[in-house]
Structure 1
Amino acid sequence: MSLRYTPLLLATAVLAGGLGVAGTAAAHGTMTTPASRVYACFQGNPENPTNPACAAAKALAGSQAFYDWNGINQANANGNHQAVVPDGKLCSGNNPTFRGLDLDRSDWQTTPIQPDANGRFTFVFKATAPHATRDWRFFVTRDGWQPGSPLRWADLQEFCTLGSTPLSADGTYKLQCTLPQRSGQHVIYNTWQRADSTEAFYTCMDVRFEGGGGTTPVPQWQDAGALTARTELPVGTTLALRVFNAAGNDLERVETTLAAGQTSPAQWPLAVARKVNGSAQHARVGVLANGVITPTASATGNRVYLKSGNRFQLDTQLPDPGTPSPGGDFDFVYPAGIGSYTPGETVVKSSDGKLYACRPFPEGAWCNVNAEAYRPGVGAAWRDAWVAY
């Protein structure tokens, strides 16, 4: 059984740490500005991650690592970080609990980052248990490093080292550094070495350098995250991109209703992007290149761009599952109607274009499980729930 933190459990863990009891008291913080890789996954629905890279990390190692976001550590580092954290395991800190964070993917959620007028940036580290500090060290991937490549020490250049820093009243360390010259997507890597122990903590931050300083204007559109398609949707599905301001107030809602030819994972994000870019005031969707945002036919390639401080949500409304299918040769376009399928009777049309009948009871109960494994014709365990029709 997986343990989930609650305020009571977390308080108990901190008290236990004062008594020298081993366990969750070893977890002490992570970067929140920019968001660390693990913290971004925790914030993005840890049990059903919206980011595809976080979903892959969960599939590999489970969701507990996201709840333990403040625990990427090595007990006996003592400043010898390369000795205890080998190449390819930097983001997990060579801690097996967090091994999903080491997946070589280019679609980790990124945070836009740019220096102030003096070329500096304030990193914010949320400390659930503060400690005396020997040093903070910051590294960035070299020019020419490709997102999705394995992360090695040789790929990193150190750009900032700080000593002991006072804890702010809000429970964070505010760490000001001069940013290096970079553009596009990179990884910033941080080590925090304690002075009162050999223990050290490790943080991967996926960022997008947006230029900076007082001589460069803040871009109108800032990357707010990916528009990711995980499955085919039936004809008639309505997708609504909603934009909110920093206070949570609705600014805009743009609806797209899918027609034939727009339902595959590569096509429906394109349909949404075209509708948004043609009518929205506060959002754009697509691929940013040379200052232009262009929609693309891709399940993972489109990103949502908003004006500074805004955020978005994509709402999905499937067509009425009770509506009979044209021709009457099947009952639903999968996954419409899941939960109402009748074992031994219901016939669906799957994403491969073929028809499948729900197995008789009791196996037919699996037909109503909304999981990729049981997607008729294409899921790894589809034969447990369906027969070809």
Structure 2
Amino acid sequence: MPWQIWERWGDDHLNPAMAQEDPMCWQAWQDNPNAMWNWNGLYRNGVGGNFQAAVPNGQLCSGGRTEGGRYNSLDAVGPWHTTDINNNFTIQLYDQASHGADFFRVYVTRQGFNATTEPLGWDDLELVKQTGRYAPAQNISFDVSVPGRTGRHIVYTIWQASHMDQAYFICSDVTF
């Protein structure tokens, strides 16, 4: 979410039209503008693959990083802008630091989950893809298929970096 917010409003983040056109982003900017400039801070060290213990229900989009309130607004329930995608899509990541990955796990919310009224929990997700290792590189992409999904969903990606026990968490609001 922060990347998409920054992509839409980064150079124009003081525009008062954001409050009407993109109220969830407006709320996120008001809560903590630093989170929008530091989207790459959504990681946890030392999780050891036990993501459900480290990231509580209702805090998945913030990666459980609620200390100081920096990323709290990313867990806000409401009408976030969505990106239209097909049931077969490609995840493309740019890793400026070339961390590489032990794996990526991609989850999609179950059919019927309503992200505009319900906080995201682990039981709302279905694992749809787990990759293998990726060598350190700046551009990583892989294909995902989720047949039968329609409507609004959240794509939740966990990126287990290969340089150390460091996991990144990415929420994407989409419409299939």
TM-score (norm 2): 0.87
Report the Cα distance in structure 2 between the residues aligned to 1:179 and 1:143, rounded to whole angstroms.
11
Which residue is equivalent to 1:187? 154
Which structure 2 residues correspond to residues 1-389 of structure 1 after superposition, within 5 A? 37-46=1-10, 47-48=13-14, 49=18, 50-59=21-30, 61-96=31-66, 97-105=70-78, 107-115=79-87, 120-148=88-116, 149-166=118-135, 171-209=138-176
Q: Which amino acid aligns with 1:102?
A: D
Residues 177-210 of structure 1: CA deviation (Å, up to 9, x unaligned): 222420011000000112331110000000000x
Report the Cα distance in structure 2 between the residues aligned to 1:207 and 1:166, rounded to whole angstroms.
28
Residues 290-344 of structure 1: CA deviation (Å, up to 9, x unaligned): xxxxxxxxxxxxxxxxxxxxxxxxxxxxxxxxxxxxxxxxxxxxxxxxxxxxxxx
Greater Rg by CA? 1
The 3 A distance-change label for structure 1 pair 167 and 51 is farther
Identity of aligned residues (%): 31
Contact 1:133/1:164 (8 A) holds in 2: yes
| Stretches (4+) displaced over 3 A | none
Q: How many residue pairs are counted as aligned between the two chains?
A: 165
TM-score (norm 1): 0.41
Offset, 1:128: 1.8
Gap regions ≥5 residues in structure 2: none
Offset, 1:175: 1.5
Residues 205-250 of structure 1: CA deviation (Å, up to 9, x unaligned): 00000xxxxxxxxxxxxxxxxxxxxxxxxxxxxxxxxxxxxxxxxx
Contact 1:40/1:109 (8 A) holds in 2: no
Residues 141-169 of structure 1: CA deviation (Å, up to 9, x unaligned): 0111012210000000000000113566x
What is the alpha-carbon root mean square deviation over aligned residues?
1.6
Q: Which amino acid aligns with 2:41?
A: G
Q: Which has the higher helix share?
A: 2
